[in-house]
Amino acid sequence: MKKAKSNAGKVTLNKVLKYISKYKVWMILSIVLAAVTVALTLYVPIVIGNAIDFIIDKGQVDFEKVFETLVQVGIVAGLTAILQWIMNTINNKVTFNIVRDVRNDAFNKIEILPLKFIDGHSSGEIVSRVIADVDQFADGLLMGFTQLFTGVVTILGTLVFMLTINPWITLVVVVLTPLSLLCAKFIAKRTYSMFRAQSETRGEQTALIDEMIGNQKIVQAFTHEDEALEKFDEINNRLEKCSLKATFFSSLTNPCTRFINSVVYAAVGLAGALFAVSDPVAFTVGNLSCFLSYANQYTKPFNEISSVITELQNALACAARVFELIEEKPQISDKGNEALADVKGNVALDNVSFSYVPERKLIENFNLNVKPGQRVAIVGPTGCGKTTVINLLMRFYDVNSGKITVDGKAITNVTRHSLRSGYGMVLQETWLKSGTIRDNIIMGKPDATEEEIIAAAKASHAHSFIKRLENGYDTVIGEDGGSLSQGQKQLLCITRVMLCLPPMLILDEATSSIDTRTELKIQDAFSKLMKGRTSFIVAHRLSTIRDADIILVMKDGSIIEQGNHDELLARGGFYANLYNSQFAK
């Protein structure tokens, strides 16, 4: 289990490095600047050590040399500050370019993911991956760039400088150093899984908040507030425990390594003092001061690197969740570039079988042949597969077996764009974007003229309510319609279809949110629209489908009855029972 987690961390790190490799020129420049700044920083203790040696005794101070040394320190410190600023700017640029690339890849993948993935994951959880997890990843990456390179170069540089002063005291430092590394490694190994659990729980919390805010009216209507609060508290408590564990263990790193560093510092001070006393010419007080400064600078990066490693564990845990999204299998791509053109509307389903979950069968051996211009109504109890048939016709889902053809062409062999352009669809659930009323109407026909837009709105009986809005067709609405009523939203969706006049129509409870008087007018408009167009109508109110050429009665994923309204009533079967239950005297 531990090996699997370790391998997962390595795999994620390799993926991160692939993103970093795009900016290797900037990274090389950053490493060079880190080396230069460290070299300048390490040069300062030598200069200060020389200044101390210029102070021999009372009355024996070479003030001119001390002043020159202080000027030299000031110049080196100023140059170091400028180079560090440039290095940090480069690190910030690289980090946020990488974050931009990761978010772009994640968003592009969302656009081509199959609907079964979107249906199987809450929107809040996906948002958490793209926003919160990437932010955490950015924080860890920035800390890694800023401190990791500098820390490693500092360790190597101080070792070289210490060896030139006194190899034996340097050996004391090197022998005690592995204690700090072992301590950091021990803690880092145990924090990855904790940060992963923290990230997953945070995503779960974001999903719940998104769901509750998006459905606040339903929550209040069903007095579900207490249950929602209990669920939130339960997730929040789990997040608290995960976060506390991750933070506690990661926080142990710094004090543990600092303790070991203090031991190293004390050992250097003791050894240096003994050397200075035994041979003050070979090892001066200035050398001791310089060595103590180097010992401090040598051990300090271990604290920073251990903190960086802890932060990187969090970053890698978050990155792993983002990469899982990026590496999800996209929807099956179009087999060719063939496009449906001059669609007549001959739709056939040949021995089609489909299920959302393999172990739970839904549609089996479904056969249907619709001639151009026919109106096909699909009725049946909830969950029988009516909307699933629509999903298959539009190729939101691909069939498990069998095939669907339009004008004799299998829909898997034509582009999705041309297939969906051939359909006009009005669903029970409306979809409107942020923008003007006009923007939402012309979505399927961006080059529509003002006269065409108004004619479509009049045909759908939406023109009157649009004109009553503050800015008419230029009125800006929010996502999902803003303050518009459900009926007004549906009228806009119907207007959208009226404008495009596609060769095939799908109406899934298209008038469910509209008052009876307006519905009668829209039914009349639909009747005119459907003339000569192949139409699929899903309806629960059977009064709306009396004029359909074919009525398919579905139950448990199969067609159990088929015929027109009068034929099915005469049979006295399932359809007759449904109809009589709605219109019994």
171 and 90 share one domain:
yes
Single residue among 291, 308, 326 that ends a domain in this structure: 326
Mean pLDDT is lowest, of 159-168, 330-339, 361-370, for 330-339
Instruction: State both tokens at 560.
Output: 């159990």
**pLDDT tens, position by position, 308-344:** 776 777 777 788 888 888 888 877 766 767 787 888 8
Please tell me the number of Cα atoms within 13 Å of 352 on its side-chain side. Answer: 31
Any domain includes 365: no
Render 106-141 in DSSP notation, one character per residue.
HHHHHHHS-HHHHHHS-HHHHHHIIIIIHHHHHHHH
The predicted model gives 141-149 an average pLDDT of: 71
**Overall number of domains in the chain:** 2
| Domain assignment present for 354 | no
Residue 228 lies in a domain: yes
Question: Is residue 356 situated within a structural domain?
Answer: no
CATH number at residue 234: 1.20.1560.10
Is residue 397 domain-resident?
Answer: no
Q: Write out the H or E segment, with its range, that includes residue 505.
A: strand 504-508
Do residues 75 and 210 share a domain? Answer: yes
Are 377 and 314 found together in one domain? no
- Residues 282, 378, single domain; the answer is no
* CA-CA-CA-CA torsion sign (382, 388, 391, 397): positive
Cα-based distances in Å from 546 to 84, 524, 533, 549: 78, 13, 17, 9
pLDDT, one tens digit per residue, over 55-110 is 655 555 666 766 777 787 788 888 888 988 998 888 888 888 888 888 898 888 88
Question: How far is the C-alpha of 73 from the C-alpha of 78, rounded, in Å?
Answer: 9
Residue 486 maps to a domain: yes
Of 308, 326, 344, the domain-final residue: 326
Distance CA 343, CA 501 (A): 12
Cβ 342 vs Cβ 223: under 8 Å: no
Print the domain residue range for 68: 2-326
322 and 452, same domain (yes or no): no
Same domain membership, residue 322 and residue 437: no
What CATH number does residue 515 fall under?
3.40.50.300
Does one domain contain both 250 and 166? yes
The pLDDT assigned to 1 comes to 45
User: What are the φ and ψ backbone dihedral angles of 510, each rounded to 5 degrees?
Assistant: -65, -20
d(C-alpha 461, C-alpha 458), whole Å: 5
| CA gap 351, 368 in Å, rounded | 9
Q: Are residues 289 and 433 in the same domain?
A: no
Asked if residue 417 belongs to a domain, the reply is no
Q: Are residues 117 and 176 in the same domain?
A: yes
- Say whether both 315 and 379 belong to one domain: no
- Given this model, what pLDDT does residue 460 score? 83
Domain contains 360: no
DSSP-derived secondary structure for 177-189: HHHHHHHHHHHHH
Tell me the mean pLDDT in the region 445-449. 88
Q: Which amino acid would we find at residue 87?
A: M
Looking at the structure, do residues 271 and 379 belong to the same domain, yes or no?
no
- Same domain as 280, residue 141: yes
Name the one residue in this structure whose structure tokens are 């495009």.
500
| Residue recorded with tokens 């009372």 | 58
For the cut 50, the answer to whether the pLDDT of residue 2 exceeds it is no
| Structure token digits, residue 514 | 């509209």
Residue 285: predicted pLDDT: 65
Main-chain phi, psi angles of 280, to 5 degrees: -65, -15
